[in-house]
Amino acid sequence: MTDALPDKIIELSKVTRVYRQGRVDVPALRGLDLSVSTGEFLALSGPSGSGKTTTLNLIGALDKPTSGSVRLEGQVLASLGARALSRVRRDRIGFVFQSYNLVPVLTAYENAELVLALQGVPPAARRDRVMDLLKAVGLEGLERRRPDELSGGQQQRVAIARAIAADPAVVLADEPTANVDSDTAEMLLSLMGTLNRERGVTFVFSTHDPRVMAHARRVVRIVDGQVASDEVVAR
């Protein structure tokens, strides 16, 4: 059990992560504490090697801490077996990557419905959900196009639709603006901000992009594996 407030969906407590490189231990996180509440639009910032991507990977159950605990919705992730962790990643976490990670042989529609299909959601219900999301992200009419027929910004929109299709607890976005131009980056950030405000989607970004930080309503700066500052920004 956890004594966290009900809306505190992510908690990292005294988290360390040490990687072994040859004969040398390299610490990526050094006793990091962080909590995220439902509905936040939060950016993890910091220089390369600061630990922000490691933090995102731990929240996303893609890695385990060396010590300390990572909780998602009150559940200690390290206590779960491989099958349970797979279900958490499928059902409770949405991922948006800088490289889009779309399946190249699937259409925009099929990529967006992928998680729902894996969950066994009936086809009619999947169609209603996916068509609504593709419309929400501005891709109505492009459902049958494959990734190589879409621009980078359009591919990232598909990735965002896929990330929120299953109503996850949180969407983790790792450098989502890294491979798009400035205008497209602003469009994507505005889109995610709208999804956050209107649909209550919680977003946590890992970024060094000042454009992302300019849109975030909370900026946590990580330096040398520790929280250096934590600022709530009035927007």
> Per the domain annotation, does 25 fall within a domain?
no
CATH number of the domain at 104, please: 3.40.50.300
Does a structural domain hold residue 77?
Answer: no
Residue 32 lies in a domain: no
DSSP-assigned beta bridge partners for residue 223? 226
The pLDDT of residue 5 is 41
pLDDT of the residue at 4: 42
In this prediction the pTM is 0.90
Q: Is residue 2 part of a domain?
A: no
Measure the CA dihedral 159/226/48/218, to 10°: 50
Supply the Cα-derived Rg of the chain in whole angstroms. Answer: 18
What's the total number of domains in the chain? 1
**Residue spans of the chain under pLDDT 50:** 1-6
Per the structure, the complete domain to which residue 45 belongs is given by 38-61+83-232
- Which of helix, strand or coil describes residue 80? coil
